[in-house]
Amino acid sequence: AVFGIPAAKLGLGYSFESVEKLIGIVGPAIAKELLFTGKRVSAQEALRMGLINQVVPESELERAVRELAGEIAQNAPLTVRAAKIAVDQAMKDPAKRDLAQVEASIRACFDSQDYTVGRKAFLEKRTPQFTGT
């Protein structure tokens, strides 16, 4: 795969929010380089920059995606949801964050049957079977 942000080659501008997200991922120096040059970077370079998380050969892509999805699916759904909400809110402007939503999602984890299941499985050194309740 090849990655790039061709705005400089097309004469258009990106929204502040999009640039801010890019800076949050790769930092200001790399964001400037990508935005100012419009250059394309290889998958290995994108990995080094932190733009992507992993590189696999195309022949292994489906297996890698299924493996990652399976790894996530084995975890407590309410906890994964709470983490997603927290990360999404953390990426927002502080004035626009819904911290009540974050707290409610965390509370839902502690109030769930999955919390009991997870603690018991941890103590018994076995894999928990979460239900999302």
The 10s digit of each residue's pLDDT in 3-15 is 999 999 999 999 9
Average pLDDT over residues 66-71: 97
- Reading the block at residue 55, the tokens are 């590189």
Averaged pLDDT score across all residues of the chain: 95
Give the Cα separation of 47 and 65 in Å (integer). Answer: 16
DSSP 51: S
Number of Cβ within 10 Å of residue 90's Cβ equals 12
Give the Cα separation of 81 and 83 in Å (integer). Answer: 5
